[in-house]
Chains A and B, each alone.
Chain A
């Protein structure tokens, strides 16, 4: 056991400041353990979100020494022995209190994407899909909605004004997921991403991919292919042949 110096942002929508704490740290602990110890011993009302404590629920996003990450997956042994650890709320969303922010932006964006459209000719139990075909979408469905990619993306990180027109990387992968879903009956996922979700704002900096705790290749596997295909399709005279045919040979060429 050692005593470590922590600085935690305390405050609410009216303002706040970094508060200093000296706190006990034990072998094997993560930053969330320390925040919990602060609650139990020094600051019972310190607001923080968490659920699983194992990187599965995406609740505990924050910024640790300025770096966006999950509090429950940030080991204390990743810091120098005397390093002060500073914990602040994610920056892109408005603070509610302490480390808790208002992430409702994300739920609103989620609501704007047309849902999965089930194929009209298949009844429950009749769906047949090959593992290789579902795997592409499954990668995106690993998303735990920690919204760290949203928080990191420069298009909205310091640009409140872009929020209305930009859904963000989390929802680009949702569009890509549906686009690549072998049985989704809609064929306008890419166009929707371009025209309604603000895909055009993205200039492929890859910051979102770097921060994703699920290691989803947001840019390479979702954003870039969607951008390319939108361009393709806009000029492709064969588009009218229908998406299914188009999609199949794209699938082939990627194998």
Chain B
């Protein structure tokens, strides 16, 4: 193989990412008759989705028949502090049940209710038990089910043509480093195979980004090596926009000890099923942190909170189940006030709340995880937990119905897409988001291919440039160059310390100075070792994406001078209704990120009218409220 060797492949739809969103998109594109490729950095079935624990939110009403899409919609918008794209939240709430039921036809086996339906569990911010689940390994069930559906489609193709991959092929351990454009439209994707470093060019008129999130740029995170923000960066470099990048979800409960597992997730189901948070004084401190906007929905005494688990219709839920941003900030404050646990977290306890058998049955993988990794038996003693960088609400700005970005032929779904979750995502709303918008992405990408008369050709000069860029860090002797791991560790530290859960203008400015230095240092990153399965080389390439995405996050975080959801400013502690009307949009200009403000799409009155006026008053400006009153008056006249 020479440097310039390249394998050229031609597809109708190329899906980058093999998590829930990517697999669902690929299924839909293939069902629409399109020749589809699925590409992933890891092996098939290992994407992040596999790690999801708690469940997938869908208003099926199996556990409480009062549930419906409107209640789910309201919970989602409340959770996102009214910054969500209303149309995405609407589609999501309406379509999630169908997407879950469909999984059963692919062979999924969810936990059941007594009458044989899919069981649903409680989760933070959801008014009713709503999460379809399988113990605490729901993500595994979801990804395996989709994987097996893909196999079944391949079997159909095999029966017909003798070739499993005739219309649906999986390229595992293959990383896309650049999108190819022609006349501003998608023409394909360029990347390398990890196994041998072979370059690949996928020529295709439609590309679906389903690459997941960005958390690997932070030191304490629940995210894996894959989460380097590739899709976010690819989209920006192709000319698409990112929206809401300042909003990052710090999950309140990550492991804090031992150091090597710091950040690994402790599922929210622990609280949904009855676990409580206590500080070093033994106090259930969440009762001290119920914010004004949520006062009406949460219990104010431990007794009421405890009653809710058995009688939810007549009691309010305990504040341990507030949306994640609230719980994460509360834990942060307790630790800062000196009331933390020995290893700098707080206590999360199920041992005094449930019988050991029940804990093992409902939270098997948490029991296993703490036993094996921390020598803690959660049936006997409390866990120590603290916030961990978990999910990015921001992402590629898309048209809600079609998931298409500003670049024709470029679609995005799943965590890489923005808008759906506003400033804060509710637990369980991601897995359902993957299915709803994954399906739409596949469907509309296929439609786009049908409407594209001529397949755009990829320019050789673009391929050459992508190849040269990928090869730059790889040398015979890395002596004197920057070590990619060192740069990564330093970036993670900077993002954690300066762009973390609580932010300040001076720190964000400092972060941007540091990020500018990282950008320069990237040019001198060098690795030896050749092209065969070389993680150092792979990281050197990923670092470019991590840095540009970090810049977008820091810039947007500096610009937004209020606190809302997954963006907390120490120096602007309040939520400001005027900021609710503004989305921050990031795009690439030259070798930097440029930022602009854009109005948030206005929620139509039918949807706005689902909320009580008193609740809207907490989020909207005076002018917006006046307009709302005006339009409801009209409604009454009719």
Which residues of A are interface residues toward B (Cβ below 8 A)? 12, 26-30, 33, 39-41, 44-59, 73, 75, 96-98, 100, 102-103, 107, 110-111, 114-116, 118, 124-125, 127-131, 134, 137-138, 141-145, 178, 181, 184
Contact = CB atoms under 8 A, between A and B. Distances in A.
B46 A138 contact: no
B42 A51 contact: yes
A97 B533 contact: yes
Contacts, number: 175
Contacts of B400: none
B116 A52 contact: no
A54 B261 contact: yes
Contacts of A51: 42, 46-48, 50-51, 224-226
6 contacts: A50-B225, A55-B372, A56-B137, A116-B148, A141-B134, A141-B141
Contacts of A107: 44, 172
Interface in B102-122: 102, 104-107, 109-112, 115-117, 119
B609 interface: no
B69 interface: no
Contact of A115 (B46, B151, B264): B151
A39 B485 contact: yes
Given A44-B528, A116-B107, 9 more contacts: A28-B261, A47-B532, A51-B47, A51-B225, A54-B369, A56-B365, A97-B533, A102-B195, A115-B152
A130 B485 CA distance: 50
A130 B134 contact: no
B42 A44 contact: no
B137 A142 contact: yes
B43 A49 contact: yes
Contacts of B149: 115
B259 A141 contact: no
Which 9 residue pairs across A and B have the least CB separation, nearest first? A28-B258, A45-B529, A116-B107, A115-B152, A44-B536, A128-B116, A124-B101, A40-B485, A97-B533
Nearest to A27: B258
Contact of B46 (A30, A45, A57, A141): A57
Nearest to B224: A51
Contacts of B141: 141
Contacts of B615: none
Interface string B483-512: 111100100000000000000000000000
Contacts of B532: 12, 47, 96-97
B533 A59 contact: no
| Chain A interface helix/strand/loop/mixed | loop
A114 B47 CA distance: 24
A107 B257 CA distance: 36
B155 interface: yes
A30 B373 contact: yes
A127 B225 CA distance: 38
A40 B151 CA distance: 37
Given A107-B44, A124-B98, A124-B104, A55 B369 contact: yes
Contact of B535 (A45, A103, A116, A141): A45
Contacts of B110: 134
Given A30-B260, A51-B48, A54-B264, A59 B373 contact: no
Contact of A45 (B51, B148, B537): B537
B534 interface: yes
Interface residues of B, number: 73
A118 B111 contact: no
A127 B260 contact: no
Given A103-B43, A134-B112, A54 B260 contact: no
Max count, chain A CB within 10 A of own CB: residue among B261, B368, B533:
B533
Given A44-B529, A111-B154, A115-B148, A53 B104 contact: no
Contacts of A114: 155
B42 A129 contact: no
Nearest to A133: B112
B45 interface: yes
A26 B260 contact: yes
Contact of B51 (A54, A100, A143, A145): A54
Interface string B81-107: 000000000000000011001101111
B259 A26 contact: yes
Contacts of A143: 144
A44 B483 contact: yes
B134 A138 contact: yes
A29 B258 contact: yes
B171 interface: no
A81 B44 CA distance: 38
A143 B152 CA distance: 19
Interface string B255-278: 001111100110000000000000
A155 to B, nearest CB: 23
Contacts of A129: 109, 112, 116
Contacts of B374: 28
Contacts of B107: 115-116, 118, 178, 181, 184
Interface string B138-158: 001100100011011011001
Contacts of A52: 50-51, 224
A125 B533 contact: no
Nearest to B536: A44
Nearest to B158: A111
Given A39-B485, A49-B43, A114-B155, A75 B112 contact: no
Nearest to A59: B46
B48 to A, nearest CB: 7
A73 B224 CA distance: 16
B489 A40 contact: yes
Nearest to B109: A134
A98 B102 CA distance: 41
A50 B529 contact: no
Contact of B527 (A27, A44, A55, A145): A44
B264 A53 contact: yes
Contacts of B119: 131
Contacts of A45: 527-530, 534-537
Contacts of B536: 39, 44-45
